[in-house]
Amino acid sequence: MRARRALLYVPGADWRKIEKAKGLNADSVCLDLEDGVAANRKAEARSTVARAFSSLNFGKSERLARINAVGSGFEVDDLAVVGLARPDGLIIPKVSSAIAIQWTSDQLASIERKMNWSVGSIYLLALIENARGVVNLSQIAEASPRVQALIFGAEDYAADVGAIRTPGGNEVLYARSAVVAYAAAYGLQAIDLVFRDYRDPEGLSVEARGGAELGFAGKQVIHPDQIEAVQEAFTPNEAQIAEALNVVQAAGVNLQAGSGAFAVDNKMVDMPVIRAAERVLARARVAGKLERDG
């Protein structure tokens, strides 16, 4: 699966920002048709996003679009226009059950057949933003083979449950952790919440590192200045990579010799430690910090 350390949202009706975004080297660029676009500009945004996907080179950045929520009244036209421009994937907001995923998957299949594309080639990322979505994480995660990631939307979730947002974020910790746990259980990526104050780089770095420590693969960002710090936070550093390589290499020798547990640099190593090291190396490979056969 590809790296999604920083997922940058860009208003779908703003051509200038879209053109800028294609050169920012964010792992993922999401052209937004939902919250970033006023109701009276939805049609304009659709055509702008379709034009961008058809005419601009986003380099190595993943090309995503966030459509409007299923049931909003905008989603059918979103798919009809943007789907034909063949984005890499779609973010489905406010997912509360498997129904929204299954409906979107069916619509995409019709488009793919019509255009003679491989069915399932456009994948989905589910944005979990309410209590029902958290309660139904299991059915959402397995709703379609198209689903590659679960994304946590803290602001909508907090509003839905009546929580008061605080800098520490304890009020969303349960839901945030649940998204990580269910993503891991179903072999999906988990993408963390937005840090809203883009003028606070220190706070951003702290929260991003905390998300990486919780098990998230990446974080949503809303400003170009957030990209570098976020991608750094979700990339293993040289010391972490070296330690993980040492553990995995030692494991190959010791497990073959029949040792279930052994010491590396005066620290005991067993299977959970080996699996954790393997995950560090997998993240490093996806981020381009380690050769595939390294």
In a domain, 206, yes or no: yes
53 with 39, same domain: the answer is: yes
Contacts of 197 (CB under 8 A, 6+ apart): 203, 204
Tally of domains within the chain: 2
206 with 254, same domain: the answer is: no
pLDDT at 258: 78
Catalytic residue among 106, 197, 225, 270: 270
65 with 153, same domain: the answer is: yes
In a domain, 1, yes or no: no
Q: What pTM, to 2 d.p., does this model score?
A: 0.91
128 with 261, same domain: the answer is: no
81 with 141, same domain: the answer is: yes
CB 56 within 8 A of CB 19: yes
For 231-265, the pLDDT digits (tens) are 999 999 888 898 889 899 888 888 777 777 888 88
221 with 279, same domain: the answer is: no
Q: What is the mean pLDDT of the chain?
A: 94
229 with 242, same domain: the answer is: no
Residue 208 belongs to a domain with what CATH number? 3.20.20.60
In a domain, 228, yes or no: yes
Residue after which a domain boundary falls, among 197, 215, 233: 233
Average pLDDT estimate for 132-145: 98
47 with 182, same domain: the answer is: yes
Nearest to 222 by CA among 40, 24, 49, 83: 24
110 with 39, same domain: the answer is: yes
Range of the domain at 176: 6-233
145 with 212, same domain: the answer is: yes
CB 224 within 8 A of CB 36: no
- At residue 30 the predicted structure's pLDDT band, cuts being 50, 70 and 90, is very high
Share of the chain above pLDDT 90, in %: 80
Average pLDDT estimate for 65-91: 97
Cα 247 → chain centroid: 28
132 with 38, same domain: the answer is: yes
Residue 280 has which token pair?
Answer: 């560090």
Cα 97 → chain centroid: 18
181 with 245, same domain: the answer is: no
In the annotation, is 270 catalytic?
yes
Residue after which a domain boundary falls, among 233, 248, 271: 233
CA torsion through residues 108, 78, 179, 143, sign: negative
Judged against a pLDDT cut of 60, whether residue 293 lies above it is answered with no
